[in-house]
A and B are shown apart, each in its own frame.
Chain A
Amino acid sequence: MTGSLESRVLALLTEVAPDVDAALVLPDVDFREQFDFDSMDVYNFAVAIHRALGIDVPERDYRELSSLSRCVAYLERARIARTSSSST
């Protein structure tokens, strides 16, 4: 499950920043350090996540989108939280 989420996040990442090579993304290094991610990239990334995964990341949680592993862990938690809240 995490594996497929990671590949979907990577696809969204390269959609936002087409010049990024998905195969070379280091999972634990900040996107800003790896490929000059700026606030507009984070904005586009949050919009893409909302559109493709249906997860509305609030602005105060944008720092959770700062690296691949952090982002995947956060979205995994958000997905579980949503599933459990919708089943109750």
Chain B
Amino acid sequence: MSRELRLPSLGADMDAGTLVEWRVRPGSRVRKGEVMALVETDKGIIDLECFEDSTVERLLVEPGTRVAVGTALALLAGEAAPATQVGSGAEVTAPAVRASPAARVRARVLGVALEGLAGTGLGGAVTLEDVERVARTAAAVPVAGKAAGLRAAIAAAMSRSKREIPHYYVQLTIDFGPAAAWLGAYNAHRPPLERLLPAVLLLKATATAAREFPAFNGFYTAQGFESAAVVNLGVAIALRGGGVVAPALLDADRKPLAQLMPELQGLVERARRGHLRSGEAASATLTVTSLGEEGADAVLPVIHPPQVAMIGFGSVLERPWVVDGRIEVRPVLGASLAADHRVTDGRQGAQFLARIRDGLSKPEAL
């Protein structure tokens, strides 16, 4: 029984991509996680991974072709489940798409996927015009310059966020002293390769807290909010020369620090090389941005739709801090939460931030 390998949406506002290269041929046996094709998107080249073992029957799209999300790229033989899936994020079941009957017929004819399409009709329903617009865009837009394409993708996602998501913000200043001391001792007797960056502690503390506060970890769609079964922690990665991408560290809450560090290193490297994997490109269930050593106290993030929260960390800075009624100099960290008011309120947000603080106060338990 054959089924189609379709182009998945690899970002909130991705509606098309260019097939750059096939890594398989008809007859190829592919294993789960193997790269089947390279697809160029606004976020750079994405390695399209196979989601389960199967055999390639036929390739349907020539390299160099720009196709809409949902277009069949190849025919596969194997198990009955879909061949590609966008990371574990797809464990959040996709709701049925609202679309007019005319739109559905036209979408089938033009090969446009209704899933993930932003409808302009009543209640967000996809209309005939929506389908034709996407089909036109997919056919006509040339592959833009990398930086311009990325900037346009950021603009689209952030504009949608500010248009649709009623953000609220909560801030908390955290004593980073215990974490810094623990990290210094951990790194002191280890070779460079095995050392940890402070960012890894921040990510693990956030991921662990997210497991306990599922209302901040998941997706908001036309059907409302649904929390995710996993914590795929998006990491905002600044690219040299401008732009930012936020691929995910999969199952970040369940991995030890010594495993998260090389995974973060690999993620940053792939992001900067413009070569992310399909499983990590758009599967984040909650995202973290960390300003590192830039020197700002705090950052107030803009939520990446369809996610419902984002954590921002400022730089670790030495500041006066009151301990037992006395003032001491301590390394402190400004933590911020931007969250979706359709799902949670400030009180829960404050509790979520406090849980992250508690995690950082006992770094040995992370």
Contact = CB atoms under 8 A, between A and B. Distances in A.
Contacts of B292: 38-39
A39 B195 CA distance: 12
B193 interface: yes
Contact of A40 (B188, B192, B197, B273): B197
B324 interface: no
A52 to B, nearest CB: 11
B238 A57 contact: no
B320 interface: no
Contacts of A56: 191-192
Interface residues of A, number: 21
Contacts of A18: 273
B197 A43 contact: yes
A58 interface: yes
Contact of B265 (A38, A44, A49): A44
B152 interface: no
B241 interface: yes
Given A17-B240, A19-B241, A38 B293 contact: yes
A21 to B, nearest CB: 12
Given A40-B265, A44-B265, A19 B193 contact: no
Interface of B: 184, 187-188, 191-193, 195, 197-199, 238, 240-241, 264-265, 268-269, 272-273, 292-293
Instruction: Pick the 9 closest A-B CB pairs, nearest first.
Output: A46-B192, A47-B192, A50-B192, A59-B187, A36-B240, A47-B193, A40-B268, A39-B292, A38-B292
Interface of A: 17-19, 32, 35-36, 38-40, 43-44, 46-47, 49-51, 56-60
